[in-house]
Structure 1
Amino acid sequence: MDGIRAEKVVVLDSIQGRNFRGKLPPDETLGFKLETNEQRLVGSVVRGLDYFTSGSVVDGLGAAILARCQMRKSLGTLCVTWPEFGGSAMLMVKSVLREVLPEVEFGGGLLGFDRIRDPLFESDLYT
């Protein structure tokens, strides 16, 4: 990770039900964000998501990357979605990516979003 020098970092991940404070509705798609202090000072790059619920936990690679950004005082955002799998979460991820990377075309399965159907091939980490 020492070799990567990004100006901004956006990580996409999913929420696991056991880590969320409160009850996650099984039939509703939710998305939240966490940001480094530096990102909050300059303004959010992801505008369509609320901040992650206080008392809830994100673990894994996405959380580790955001923690590293915070320690380095870098601009970083972690976006998490619920449910962990499924088309509705993928649509939310597409919308976040369109906002962050407006110059990239996401239609027609360019990044494989339209081909993912089997939960065995869907990762907890979307990137």
Structure 2
Amino acid sequence: MMNNLRRCLNAHGLGDLPYAVVLEVSDTERLHLHGVIDTSDLDAASRAALGDALISAGSEAVGAIGGKRQLDLQDISSADGWADYCLKTASKTARLLEVDKDDLIMINNPMKRVARRFFEGLQRERGVGRVF
């Protein structure tokens, strides 16, 4: 999935966007993704290209939406609430997919760099040395 997502984002000139995704098996037992992507520096045309890239990266859906690819992009107003929502069925999903819960979460390198800078900034504010 990460390779496909990376390929589609690169094809639209958006390969450097930080993102993280998590696999989820819903109550109807459909596998899908939730995620977060930093769109703060994107203009309207780039946001449209992002939507196209994400739809291209997804597989064809079956059932109610008739083979279309579903995408719902919204601004996040509560990061901790969104994280809780993304992970609400992690135990069930890991069990059904027969993987560790850690294997459900995929974070690209640009997002890892953002997270590392944020964490190091918090450490500096608190006067704590570097933690590994």
Q: TM-score, normalised by structure 2?
A: 0.27
Q: Which has the higher contact order (CA 8 A, sep 6+)?
A: 1
Please say which structure displays the higher CA radius of gyration: 2
TM-score by length of 1: 0.28
